[in-house]
Structure 1
Amino acid sequence: MPVPADRLTLEQINVMERTEFVESLGGIFEHSPWVAEGTYGQQPFVSVQQLHDSMVDTARNAEGEQILGLLRAHPDLATRLEVSPLSAAEQQGAGLTRLTPEEFAQLTELNKAYTEKFGFPFILAVRGKNKEDIISSIAERVHRSVQEELEQALREISRITRFRLDDLLNVE
């Protein structure tokens, strides 16, 4: 079965030159092509899971400020600001573009409190969740410790990036 033009195969990724690899995979981690750059050279990947694990390891093993930059590259959920096309599609699928004015105000306040406490925006893999799930999650997580929430944010990024990688490679 042929692969659609906008999808990649693992075989294609394994033979890419550095520039093409970074261009193709640089958007998997929100505004952080350095993750793809740092993962390049670990080919051949025998599975999408190995590719994803390598990318997650690159992100998690970065310097503290670089990790914080990765976290801060994520947009606030339901923001009216410009977000990446991948984030926009993910948020739309979760119903965040259809918030009532009251829900939008509540989420805006929770996002503000969360960011003030932790120094990075609330990050949640929203695929499969609805707006009620999301509001409930941020309302709960805003009360956690900084260390707990840093770890949770990195786990959420891992989920988000796996969804994105699966979509790019058309993994079922």
Structure 2
Amino acid sequence: MTGQKELLTLDEINRMNKTEFVAALGGIFEHSPWVAEGAYGQIPFHSVEQLHGAMLETAREAGEEQIAGLLRAHPDLATRLKVTPLSAAEQQGAGLDRLTPEEFRQLTDLNAAYTEKFRFPFILAVRGKNKDDIIAAITERVQRPHQEEWEQALAEIGKITFFRLNDLVTGPREASV
């Protein structure tokens, strides 16, 4: 990715004051620096997974309206509107910048139906997926009940933010189980 931020070490993060911490990690959760602010109180972090867990806990324990705001902060996939550099890079990696006009219309229509039903945009961790995977996922998920999809959207945010954090922070990793 061009324009990627310089990697931070976990030690550097643990030595940051709150302002520095939020400046460095506030963009991990889309347009929601309050997540980093809330996680700051759990410093020091002994692994990237522990840092991510603190951020996820902050997001999940927020009030329903704040969580809804976090969900609504995510862009529609394949939107032609301005998105954050992290979202743009993730979407390009999945081929969403190379949709045919028909695929773009299909995804636009599916996004509209999804957003109308759930009142937040379709959220999917697109890393490792292609445009066909994404279209299949939204086609299936738009049929789900609201609460199930709310939980799925939060789980997808967990995946997205874990990728972002791992791309930004070097340091101890917890062993895979």
Partners of 2:25 and 2:76 in 1: how far apart?
23
Partners of 2:77 and 2:170 in 1: how far apart?
26
Show structure 1 runs of 4+ deviating over 6 A.
Answer: none
Paired residue secondary structure (1:92) = helix
Residue of structure 1 in register with 2:41 after alignment? 41
Query: Between Structure 1 and Structure 2, how many residues are aligned?
Result: 169
Cα offsets for 1:80-123 (capped at 9, x unmatched): 00000000000000000000000000000000000000000000
Residue of structure 2 in register with 1:10 after alignment? 10
Residue of structure 1 in register with 2:62 after alignment? 62
In the alignment, structure 1 residue 23 sits paired with structure 2 residue 23 = yes
Which structure 2 residues correspond to residues 119-134 of structure 1 after superposition, within 5 A?
119-134=119-134
**C-alpha displacement of 1:41:** 1.8
Paired residue secondary structure (2:51) = helix
Residue of structure 1 in register with 2:88 after alignment? 88
* TM-score, with structure 1 as normaliser: 0.96
Partners of 1:57 and 1:29 in 2: how far apart?
12
CA contact (8 A) 2:10 2:45 kept: yes
Partners of 2:102 and 2:6 in 1: how far apart?
39
Q: Which amino acid aligns with 2:62?
A: A
In the alignment, structure 1 residue 51 sits paired with structure 2 residue 51 = yes
CA contact (8 A) 2:72 2:120 kept: yes
Q: Which amino acid aligns with 2:116?
A: E
Q: Any stretches of 5+ residues in structure 2 without a counterpart?
A: none
**C-alpha displacement of 1:170:** 4.4
Aligned-pair identity in percent equals 73
**C-alpha displacement of 1:31:** 0.3
